[in-house]
Amino acid sequence: MSSSLSHRQHLANLVDQLSTSVILLDADLHIQNLNQAAQNLLLVSSQQARGIPLEQIVQLEAELLGQFKASLRQGQSFTSREVKIKLAGHPAMVIDLTGTPLDDQQSLVLEIQPLDRFSRLSRGERMHSRRQSSANLVRNLAHEIKNPLGGIRGAAQLLERELENQIDNTQARLELQEYTHVIISEANRLRDLVDRLLGPQRQAHKQHTNIHQVLDKTYKLLAAEAGEEVDLIKDYDPSLPELMLDANQLMQVFLNIGRNALQAVQENNIQAPSIRFQTRAVRRFTIGNHNHRLVCRIRICDNGPGINPELKDEIFFPMVTHRAQGTGLGLSIAQNLVAQHQGLIECDSKPGKTCFNIYIPMERP
């Protein structure tokens, strides 16, 4: 008997470690148990949900409920693809769902896999591949540009010295040297632009840091730039621990995104313009191919006009911008800096609300 209990406990522990959401229902479709992934998905603990009808927590179509009952009655498994479910007060989500009746036909095991996770993984892999190709192109282009730039700048400096030695007329010499100054100045500007295209060259210097202190510095700088015109809102989770990060690099990320938000609300005559800085802990979040037990989500939202849907998937690439005066480098640099923290930036945008979500793993090395 003790061995049987130990075996069941071992199985329960294994199920609890799965990234797939697993729900155990009784014959009346009341919840009997949830693994950790299901608790995260349904935003309820196993203890709170036990004995409650599933449809009281999740809004399901009548046809799907009928499928659950038929599976129990007939003792046959089923799979439903791209099913929409909804939690009260939250957007609908699309899932793949498999139901398996147990031998006694008095309970049903549901396995749920949210498709948005797979779409994020697929999109992440696709974006990573494109970023790598873009980075290689930029590196090669930078090499081809910087070599002749160095020659142009050196020739202009030599010409400036020759003018000093060869032309006695001071006024004529100064007028000609103005042209050499323009050449040198523009060569320097192009060199700096190429350096920015290449992104940060310094590796992250990480130490234990309070993320809210970094955000507060960003908040103060943006508040000084915004004056009284824009409402800046702080919505922090005070329970977050210190994170291993490079404060200067993360501040540059927040400033790049925050200034974009500020420009969006200021340049489009938004009524009651606002920017919100929010922090939260998120459980079981996948970045790349790694599923993190806990990540910190920093969200910067504005109520501006939103991002052109045609640019939404391109905004993290160099030279992509919807602003006439923009260089299109800020978000590319931000993505690079967050990647050095094994993190991720995602953007959700629609007219009236744009949110950049920065995810930083909370596991300590």
Q: How far apart are CA 13 and CA 20, in angstroms?
A: 14
- Spatial contact of 69 and 63, defined as CB atoms under 8 Å apart: no
pLDDT over 80 at 245, yes or no: yes
pLDDT over 50 at 10, yes or no: no
**pLDDT category, 119, cuts 50, 70, 90?**
low
Side-chain-side CA neighbours of residue 328 (13 Å):
14
Q: Which residues contact 100 (CB under 8 A, 6 or more apart)?
A: 71, 77, 108, 109, 111
pLDDT over 60 at 146, yes or no: yes
Q: How far apart are CA 131 and CA 327, in angstroms?
A: 17
Among 277, 249, 205, 257, CA closest to 338: 249
pLDDT over 90 at 297, yes or no: yes
Least confident of 91-95, 145-149, 200-204: 200-204
**pLDDT category, 1, cuts 50, 70, 90?**
very low
Percent of all residues in the chain with a pLDDT value above 90, rounded to a whole number: 19
pLDDT over 90 at 280, yes or no: yes
Specify the pLDDT at position 21: 86
Cβ-defined contacts of 36-40 (< 8 Å, 24+): 36/284, 37/284, 38/112, 40/283, 40/284
Specify the pLDDT at position 240: 93
Token pair for 213: 């202190």
Token pair for 357: 């979500």
pLDDT tens digits along 175-227: 888 888 888 888 887 777 676 666 555 566 889 999 999 999 999 999 988 88
- Spatial contact of 301 and 275, defined as CB atoms under 8 Å apart: yes
Specify the pLDDT at position 326: 47
Q: Which residues contact 212 (CB under 8 A, 6 or more apart)?
A: 236, 238, 240, 279
**pLDDT category, 285, cuts 50, 70, 90?**
confident
Quote the mean pLDDT of the chain. 79
